[in-house]
Amino acid sequence: MTADEPPLSTVDALVQLSFLVQRALAEAGAEHGLSVVQIRLLGVLRDRTAGMLEIGGHLGLDKSSMTGLVSRAEKRGLVRRSPSPHDGRAVLVSLTDEGRRLTEQGAEQIGRRVAALTAGLTEAQRTELTRLAGAVING
């Protein structure tokens, strides 16, 4: 029989859960030398091509932070910069084939690791957790 755990407040439960998930993300990324923010960058580009400002908006980062972030990913061959056909000031960032491969593979591993966190729940509990988390996310 395992030890009883102290009851958690809602706040503590959400904070601790967030750290568990973030650790799973970091560990999945580390297998490929990717930081969490690099994972997020690839995630943003998974379904779209975007300019620096737009990506920064999604990640909550200043445009000056984007330059280095994208350059490091570019140096690793994961993304490319292209000139925008409509605006001479703008660049469009998109995944390379290698970047897309790594994105898909990483998503799979993240899925496995995060799913493993809920392995102790019943299917009904998992469904309910997903529903409640979704309600928080959607306001």
CB contact at 8 A, 98 and 78:
yes
Nearest distance, CB of residue 101 and DNA, angstroms: 19
Please give the DSSP secondary-structure letter assigned to residue 5: P
Q: Measured from the CB of residue 38, what is the shortest distance to its own copies in angstroms?
A: 15
Q: Which stretch binds its own copies (CB under 8 A): 13-21, 45-53, 67-75, 76-84?
A: 13-21
Among residues 53, 48, 60, 35, which one has the least CA distance to residue 94? 48
Q: CB under 5 to 8 A by kind: which of its own copies, DNA, none does 124 bind? A: none
Pseudo-torsion of CA 98, 67, 106, 43, nearest 10°? -110
**DSSP letter assigned to residue 124:** H
Q: Which of 30, 31, 98, 117 is the binder for its own copies (CB under 8 A)?
A: 117
The residue (of 67 and 125) whose beta carbon lies closer to its own copies is 125
Closest CB 89 distance from its own copies, rounded Å: 29
The helix (run of H) or strand (run of E) holding residue 94 is strand 91-95
Name the helix (H) or strand (E) containing 80.
strand 79-83
Interacting residues with its own copies (CB under 8 A): 2, 5, 7-11, 13-23, 25, 60, 110-111, 114-115, 117-118, 120-121, 125-130, 132-139
